[in-house]
Each structure stands twice: as structure tokens, then as C-alpha cells.
A and B are shown apart, each in its own frame.
Chain A
């Protein structure tokens, strides 16, 4: 009897064990299989190299160089410390520092931890030689961004840095991971998808102490695609040399296509700071009141000042409220509403050409009131002064032109003639980016076409300029354009013209200055222009923050043209 009970019990126990085994192996098998793989398979990333960025002639603006990173495969906690202690002696970095880096870099027992990036080649060789005493320590070659021209075009290019939380949430679906290096600002950010390399990797089997056993698989990394920009580093360099030490920006563009030859903003920054990961220097960049990380040419919004008179003249002429011969007398000031509006000088009788050449405010007050604010607004929109230009750079601000309707809705105020007078000389609530002014200037340079500025000429050798250049008509009458062009030319040639400093250059320049009053300091200095006058190849916009007057921008432009002429670049752009 008791034997039967015993027999029955033993059968029950064996069945119970078999069922438990079934549960562990078959029902939960996948879970444990996964855990087992994680236990013994480590992935060692092998980075490809990010795409190069070239200028229009194929010079490498941004390339890559090889760097050696010190990586450790985590082992048992005690063993890792022993290894780190040994390592600290070999590479002469304090044990505490290594421990700190190990802790902060530790993700899990399966992921290698990068201890030091970009170590000295001598130390890398030393570590490789001592490999057998340093369990799990590896020297991993990776590529680093290299900037052969240092700061050149830093705002166009941007910089690269470890992906932040905000970008990661946006980009996780596109295969971005934590600790990826991604572009910040400029082309690096906008074209990150093309530039970005695909990381390859080595999957290796390790034992319980993280020691390498054998290679299971290998996938080589692939490099990112090269981008060719429309920038010409020779022009870019001239621009940046002349802009150095000043606050402002310069854009030089091809009027017919919208290709950007040079785009510089000052103060600029050194993208190497982010490569070196020097936290104090990055901190300085971010907190600098001069905002060196801001690309003023596309993100800065400023009152246009007298440069906006081109739009007013275009509106007046095109709607036939004024014509070539319409003239107003400038007595130095005028009363509109109950307010007195001034001019810089007493110009006497002025027609539109003279008024543009001398930048006579009185003419434009009266012409503006004749034309009406809605027409001025509409023509400004036609000239591309509303909204962003569509250049392929991130963080572009949109220019803004007020109109009576807007004022009613957003400011709960009526529009008065005084507002029209202010608008007519580019003051008041109107705000533009230097790039959008450059684009407006191009309409007069190329005789009526509104172009879209662009920077990328070719991706991976494929010419993409046809896809990027979007050219539409500004719908201006031929006569309007030729009258305004004449005014712009006379600003240079007329002895009393505002841009007279450009008269004695080896090339015929036309342009318009602007002095934009802005609250809280000296006026901003503007100059927009193009050359050669007959068949323009370059259109330029110079902006100098708090320069006092437009003349500062004119002389900067003269310096740039002179330097370009010396290098034989002043004509024959793009060749």
C-alpha cells in the first residue's frame, strides 16, 4: 500500500519536472533564447565615414580624419576596475577619471563603453601592445569631422554633435539611435540623411568575463554621400576676411540661378570645438551675447531701411501711380498726419531715379502714400519679402511686411498715412532677413525673375541644381525694372549718390544703401547691389549690425569687390 503511494508520488514528481521543463524550454523558450544571445553576443560598431562637403570647384570644405577611440568591453565589476587601473598607468589618465567615464558610458553588460575619444596615436599603439594585460580593452578606429579651412563657412556647414533628445524623438523612425553623431545647423543638419554614414559592425562572441572568443559576423560600414555646394571658397574666404571682427553678414548669389557663392555671418564659430567636446568652449559659444551660433543671414530679422525703397518704387511705377518723370520737392522734412518726417538732406526736386540714387525719404513718403500700403505690401510679396526664401538651411526666419489688415487684426489699430510713410522707407514693423533682401535685389539684377536661393549643387556626383533652382516671374513691367536699375546705377555713378564709394572699381556696380533705425542702439548698415551692371553675375547683400549707417556696408562691399577683382573673380562667375 505504502509502496503504491510512493510509486504514485514519484510518477507525479517526474511528470511535474517534465512539465516545468516544457514550460521553461518550449513555452518561454524564445525569451530565454534572447537572453542567452544577449549574454554572449557583443556588437562592436565600426563606423563608416560621413559624407564630405565640397565647394563648387570640388575643394573639400569638410572632410574626415581617422581617430582612435579607446573602448572597453564590460566585464565583472571587480575585473573591470583592475583593468582600468592597469590602463590608467599605460595611457597616463587618472584612475578616477577612467572610472567616472566608464560609469557614465555604461549602458549594459552587452555594449562596449567608449572611455576616451580621439586618443594620441602613440597611446593607441601602446595600448595595442599591452593588449594581453588589458582584458577587453580595444582601440577602435573611427572617423572624425575634419575642417581643412577651419572656421570657413561655418554657418553654412553647421557642426556635428551627439544627437539630443529632441532630435532623437523626431528621427528615431529613420533609424537614428542614441549617441549618434548628427548635424546641427546648416547643411550638416539639413542634409544629415544624405551625409550620414551607415554604421557597420562586428558581432563577436564573448565568454562570461567579456573576453573575445570568435567573430560571428561582420558588416562593413558604408560612407555617407558627398555633397557639392554652390559656394566658392575663394569668394567665401574674401568675404569672411573682410567681415572678420565686425558683426553682420554678407550673401553673394548668382542672380539668374539663385546659387549662393558666399554666405557668411559674423561672429562665427569653430566647428572643431564640438569635435573636441570641450564643454567650456561650447558653453562660451552658447552664452556669448554676440550669438556666434546664429546665422544672421537667414535667421536674423532686421528692419530693411532704405533698401526697401526698391519695393516701394516698383509698386508705384508698376501701378502707374508714379512714372519716370514724377517728381517731388524735398525740403528736408514733411508733415504727415500730425507728425514731422525728415530727410537726411535737402534734395530739392527729385524724380524716382534721383530719389533712389540719393535715397531721398521725402520722395518715397509721398510716392508711398500715393501708391497705398496694400500695393506696397503686395509688391513686396512679389519680390519675395514675405516668408522664408526656401533656402535649404534649417532655422530660416521668414521676412515680414505689415499691411493695414494685419494691423487691424493683430494690433487693433487703424492704419494711418504715417504708417505708410514709415513703411515706405523700410521702417516700422517690417522685418527682413539679409538673404531675402539679396533675393529681392536679384529680381532687378536678372530683370524680373524671382529665384530661390540654394546651396547644394550635387549629391553624390548627381547634379541636383535643376531640382533646386525654382525660378518664377516677379510679374514686373520691363519699364519698371529698367527705371529702378537706372536709379541703382546712379547711386554709384552720381557724384552725390549714396554708394559713390563703389564708383572707382574695375567693374560697373549698381546698388542701394540702407540705414535702418532700430531701437536700443545705433542704426544697422545695409547695402544691396549687383555687378557687372549690364549682365549681372553677382548680387550682394551686406548687412552690418549697429554699424551706424549704410556707408559702412558700402565700403565693406567695395573691399570685397576689390579683393575679388584682384583674384580675377569679379567677372565670369561659376566658371
Chain B
């Protein structure tokens, strides 16, 4: 049993190392101490992340059940604070400034919503300890959780961080599907989301609309919004089969590729390591998701099961959307690549989620 959590830990660490190498490569030639230290700060986040992983893997996940509501409301308050106090960064207010670091509540919101929904759908009847979810009506199955999801999502979208907002909604949709509620409710939500698209479109900021238009055809605006997509594709494509070699990627080092150490770290990585490296990375990510699914299959406790599946969903979707957007297959939305992209919030939240997975694996036998 210990074996599985070690596996998760090693895979995560391997991905982190590849991430640090790419961050170093994309920043070491840029002037300024802030750039030069980027990789060191990422290492620091990873070290903190490892501590968090250990913490959560030893913390009985049922304890999280107990504090789920607290977590949910703390998250809402933090998101509200971002909404009110957030500092302007990259034209978006996504950060809360703490003593010496910036915290991004929307990263935590993804995990907290997974926990919240896992608990919501695994509530048991007091009478016969049967799962309530199977007998949920429309209101309890769809409308009530929709409201709980909508509150944080509204704040996230207002930041504005459409990508993370949509991500939380997709997690909601996926969890509906994976929970024991009747399948028709999941499809109903899908239908509602589909119908909401035009409404959302009208409420999007101009730059967000532009990104989607440009995603459909990057050559509309090759020097503006399409620039990133084109440069990312050039970076990835020019890597070829074996890549240009570490520290030799011209696209990222010479700054043709914006955000080369954060959202577009995948392009930086594949430019230097080629298709061979990219395939290995994708495979490592798959192994990680597979571990979560395997743990879920083995776990009979509904909360633990749904929580592992939710974590798999959360990580899998972020990975897929980020890589797809690097490859020009999805619009450019601010979704980081878990464990690779530079950023403390994402690294710590991902390690926390993996820690929970390890703990579910360790303690499920108890129930």
C-alpha cells in the first residue's frame, strides 16, 4: 500500500524536475535578478509542496469531510477579497498578497470545490446509511449544487479568470457524472451549459472574445492575440523528434514565446526535448491520473472514491486543456500545467491533492 503513495510521489517529483529544468532554460538568459531567480523560487515551492504532500498523506481524509463547509466558506471569502482588494497583475486581479508571496485563491478553489462536491454527493441517509445521491430529485441533484458552484465561479469569472471559472464548472459536470445521481441530471447540466454559451459570450471581456476568435484563426491577428498561439506552435514544432537540446530553445529563450515559464512551459519543454520528451511527459501525467483512478476503484468509501475521482478529473482536465492550448487546439485560457508551470499556488494545491490521494489509498481499508 505504501508502494502506491511512493509511486505518486516519484512521478510528481519527476514532472517537477522537468518543470524546473524548463523554467531555468527559459529564464536564465533574461536580464534582471527577478528572472534569474525564478527557478530557485519554483524549487522552494516544490519543497513546500512536498511538505504539504507529507502533511496531507498523513492527515486522515475523513477529517477533511468534517471541515468541508469551513473550507468552502473560507474560499468564498478569499475569492471575495480578491474581487475587492486584488492587486492588478497581467491585467487581471487573481492574487492576494500575503507577507512574502502572492496567493491565487482560484487555484485552491478548484480543489475545494472537488472536496465540497465529493462530500455533497456522498452524504448518507441517517436512517439506513444508504447513499442519498441515488434518490436525489432535480433540486437536490442539480439546482442546489449549481448554486453552491455558481457563487465561487461568479467571483472567479469576475477576476476575470474565465479559464478557471470554466474549469470549476467542468469539474462540477464531471463529478455529477461520476457520482451516483441519475445520469439524466448530468446530461441536463450539459444541455444548460450549452444553452448558456451565447449568454456567457455576451458577458465576456473583449480580450476574452478576441482570444477565442484568434483561437479559431490565429492569423487574424498575428502580432496581437494570435502571436502567442503562433509562437507556441513554432516552438513546439521546431523541436522536432529529439528537440533542440536543453538550454538551446530559441523560441522561449529569445522571448518570442510569451509566458514561456508559466502557461506555455509545455512549449518550452517540447522545443528543447522534442517529441521524445513530450511523449514521456504525457505518459508521466497519464500514470498520475491512472493512479488516482485505480485508487478510486479500490476504495469503497463513497467520499474517498468521489474525492479521488474528482482529483483525477481536476488534474486531467487542467493537463489536457493546457497541452491542447499549447498545441493550438484550445483557446488561450490561463490554465497552468500542474507541477510544470511556474507558480506557488498551483504547485502547492496539486501536491495537497496528491497528498489526499495518498491518504485515501492508505486509510481506505479502515472503512
Contact = CB atoms under 8 A, between A and B. Distances in A.
Interface of A: 2-3, 6-7, 10-11, 13-14, 17-18, 20-22, 24-26, 28-33, 35-37, 39-40, 76-77, 205-209, 213
B312 A10 contact: yes
Contacts of A25: 236-237, 239-241, 270, 274-275, 278
21 contacts: A6-B309, A7-B293, A10-B293, A10-B312, A10-B316, A13-B320, A14-B283, A14-B285, A14-B289, A18-B279, A21-B323, A25-B236, A25-B241, A25-B278, A30-B240, A36-B234, A36-B237, A39-B234, A39-B254, A76-B223, A207-B254
B177 interface: yes
Contact of B256 (A13, A21, A40): A40
A14 B321 CA distance: 11
B255 interface: yes
B178 interface: yes
A10 B286 contact: yes
Nearest to A76: B223
Interface in B288-339: 289-290, 293, 296-297, 309, 312-313, 316, 320, 323-324, 327, 329
B289 A10 contact: yes
Contacts of A209: 255
Contacts, number: 115
B262 interface: no
A208 B255 contact: yes
B296 A20 contact: no
B282 interface: yes
B250 interface: yes
Given A3-B178, A40-B250, A208-B256, A32 B282 contact: no
A197 to B, nearest CB: 31
Contacts of A33: 237-238, 240
A322 to B, nearest CB: 84
Given A14-B282, A14-B286, 12 more contacts: A18-B282, A20-B329, A21-B323, A25-B239, A26-B240, A29-B237, A32-B238, A33-B237, A33-B240, A36-B237, A40-B251, A205-B250
Contacts of A20: 324, 327, 329
A28 to B, nearest CB: 6
Given A3-B309, A32-B234, A33-B237, A21 B286 contact: no
Contact of A39 (B256, B289, B312, B329): B256
Contacts of A6: 174, 177-178, 293, 309, 312-313
A208 B254 contact: yes
Which of A14, A33, A205 has the largest number of chain B CB atoms within 10 A? A14
Which of A18, A206, A213 has the largest number of chain B CB atoms within 10 A? A18
B275 A26 contact: yes
Contacts of A31: 237
B117 interface: no
A575 to B, nearest CB: 64
B62 interface: no
Nearest to A31: B237
Which of A6, A29, A36, A76 has the largest number of chain B CB atoms within 10 A? A36
B107 to A, nearest CB: 21
Given A21-B278, A24-B233, A2 B178 contact: yes
Given A14-B286, A36-B251, A205-B250, A21 B240 contact: no
Contacts of A40: 250-251, 254, 256
Contact of B237 (A7, A11, A24, A207): A24
Nearest to A35: B234
A8 to B, nearest CB: 10
Contacts of B177: 2, 6
A3 B175 CA distance: 11
A457 to B, nearest CB: 52
B279 A207 contact: no
A35 B229 CA distance: 14
B256 A17 contact: no
Contacts of B174: 6
B286 A11 contact: yes
Which of A10, A31, A33 has the largest number of chain B CB atoms within 10 A? A10
A25 B327 CA distance: 10
Contacts of A10: 286, 289, 293, 312, 316
Contacts of A11: 286
A24 B236 contact: yes
Contacts of B251: 36, 39-40
A17 B178 contact: no
Interface in B197-241: 223, 231, 233-241
Nearest to B289: A10
Nearest to B286: A14
Contact of A77 (B178, B223, B297): B223
Given A35-B238, A77-B223, A208-B256, A22 B285 contact: no
A13 B317 CA distance: 10
Nearest to B30: A207
Nearest to B282: A18
A213 B289 CA distance: 42
Nearest to A30: B240
Nearest to B253: A207
Nearest to A39: B256
Contacts of B296: 3
Interface string B159-178: 00000000000000010011
B282 A21 contact: yes
A26 B241 contact: yes
A436 B45 CA distance: 91
A11 B238 CA distance: 27
Contacts of B286: 10-11, 14
Nearest to B323: A17
Contacts of A205: 250, 254
Interface string B177-189: 1100000000000
B309 A21 contact: no
A203 to B, nearest CB: 13
A14 B255 CA distance: 29
Contacts of B278: 18, 21, 25
